[in-house]
């Protein structure tokens, strides 16, 4: 009985160590950093562009192990879902909230080559007349 009680601290240390090593093997991917650029045109037209790099799976050689139905290696996310993720990231960007305090309108968004591009224009408040 005494020998069994002496082994509990070792079992506890083993379980804690096992838990710590299992968490360390699953690193969190860094959130992609988007680039917010702004421009003011004549007539106080405030435009912005938000670009974010695309993170796609690296292409691999086709082998018997990784061959899919037609042999094509499709990316895990389609362009539409990547654009939606970039739109969510844009909404959380503090630069956008500072640049367009009255809100904004998305004029165009698309995914090209290695990045997602979103172009937009700020909404404007009508100035109240002083009486």
Strands 104-112 and 45-53: unpaired
The residues facing 119 across adjacent strands are 49, 108
Q: What mean pLDDT do residues 4-32 have?
A: 63
Residue ranges of domains in the chain: 32-122
Measuring CA to CA, which residue among 46, 40, 49 is closest to residue 108?
Answer: 49
Q: Share the mean pLDDT of the chain.
A: 76
Place of tokens 């435009």: 47
Tell me the pLDDT tens digit for each residue of 75-127.
445 778 889 999 999 999 999 999 999 999 999 999 888 899 999 999 987 65
Cβ atoms of 90 and 107 within 8 Å: the answer is: no
Nearest-angstrom CA–CA distance, 56 and 82: 10
């Amino acid at each position: 009985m005494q020998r069994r009680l002496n082994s509990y601290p070792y079992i506890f240390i083993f379980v804690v160590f096992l838990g710590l090593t299992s968490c360390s093997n699953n690193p969190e991917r860094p959130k992609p950093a988007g680039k917010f650029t702004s421009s003011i045109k004549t007539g106080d037209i405030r435009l912005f562009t938000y670009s974010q790099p695309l993170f796609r799976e690296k292409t691999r050689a086709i082998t018997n192990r990784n061959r899919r139905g037609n042999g094509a290696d499709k990316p895990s996310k389609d362009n539409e879902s990547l654009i939606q993720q970039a739109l969510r990231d844009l909404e959380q960007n503090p630069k956008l909230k500072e640049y367009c305090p009255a809100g904004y309108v998305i004029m165009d968004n698309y995914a090209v080559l290695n990045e997602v591009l979103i172009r937009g224009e700020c909404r404007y408040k009508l100035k109240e007349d002083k009486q």
